[in-house]
């Protein structure tokens, strides 16, 4: 990792880069620890949990910007929900977060590496992605890469651009403005709103935005859906009362029904395509 990457990551993510711990109450024996090499130059720490019933598909979980990192999905019940409904689950730490090594800023490469690992491990099922906030934005960027393995994606509270994401923080915002002047490609390559117009393989995408989310409000989801219609099949679910990245706690039953049905549909279509059939 270059000096630039090290210093810049300290500025942007220092408060979130803490020693990682299993969330309380999690049965660690129910998870297998794995390591994944990423194009970001880092080795990613991940955990794999098989479905509790015959697998309907496999899901990569891309966490928001939080000290909990991959533990976010354990803490709030997403991972358990998916495993109960027949999905193999891979939750990983983005490079520089949780237990992962720190690499460069190519976070979409981390998503692609996790997706490819799961595709190779579970070749008989379709692979989907579920991301929240930081993770949702970079899943979206990964979907613009022709090599992505995902049939569908659930993106909650995705951000449209880094300047928008960091708009409330003066120093990071100033650094981003400078990067746009001296290294404009870096910010462009990490801009979900640009990626949304050129998604590969026409994936199905469920956008989730909470009515109470002031960080990535409903208007962002509406704009992403409009742009995404050029290259994908987007849906937008606006969740009453939900705060940033927390639809599952605001409406747990509705979340389970909506997300599981969406992922099951996407996995079935992916399997049909892989066997040369039309669904």
77-135, pLDDT tens digit by residue? 999 999 999 999 999 999 999 999 999 999 999 999 999 999 999 998 899 999 999 99
Phi, psi of 97 (to 5 degrees): -115, 160
Percent of the chain with pLDDT over 70: 85
Q: What pTM does this model have?
A: 0.90
- Which pLDDT value is given to residue 40? 95
The span from the CA of 143 to the CA of 128, in Å, is 11
Q: 279 pLDDT exceeds 50?
A: no
Nearest CA among 133, 63, 121, 129 for reference residue 94:
63
Torsion sign, CA atoms 98, 99, 100, 102: positive
Percent of the chain with pLDDT over 90: 74
**Assigned CATH topology for domain 3-274:** Rossmann fold (3.40.50)
């Amino acid at each position: 990792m270059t000096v630039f990457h090290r210093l810049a990551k300290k500025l942007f993510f220092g408060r979130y880069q803490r020693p990682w711990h299993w969330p309380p109450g999690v049965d660690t024996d129910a998870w297998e620890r794995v390591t994944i090499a990423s194009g970001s130059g880092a080795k990613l720490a991940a955990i794999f949990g098989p479905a509790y019933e015959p697998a309907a598909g496999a899901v990569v979980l891309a966490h928001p910007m939080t000290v909990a990192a991959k533990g976010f999905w354990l803490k709030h019940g997403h991972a358990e929900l998916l495993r109960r409904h027949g999905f193999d689950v891979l939750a990983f730490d983005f490079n520089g977060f949780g237990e992962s090594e720190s690499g460069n800023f190519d976070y979409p490469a981390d998503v692609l590496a996790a997706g490819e690992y799961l595709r190779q491990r579970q070749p008989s099922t379709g692979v989907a992605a579920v991301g929240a906030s930081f993770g949702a934005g970079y899943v979206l960027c990964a979907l613009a890469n022709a090599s992505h393995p995902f049939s569908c994606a659930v993106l909650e509270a995705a951000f449209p651009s880094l300047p928008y994401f960091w708009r409330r923080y003066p120093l990071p915002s100033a650094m981003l403005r400078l990067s746009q002047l001296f290294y404009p490609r870096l910010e462009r390559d990490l801009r979900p709103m640009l990626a949304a117009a050129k998604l590969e393989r026409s994936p199905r995408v469920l956008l989730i935005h909470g009515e109470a989310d002031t960080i990535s409000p409903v208007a962002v989801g509406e704009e992403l859906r409009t742009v995404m219609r050029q290259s994908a099949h987007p849906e937008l679910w606006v969740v009453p009362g939900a705060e940033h990245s927390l639809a599952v706690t605001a409406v747990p039953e509705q979340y389970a029904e909506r997300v599981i049905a969406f992922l099951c549909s996407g996995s079935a279509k992916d399997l049909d395509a892989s066997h040369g059939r039309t669904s």
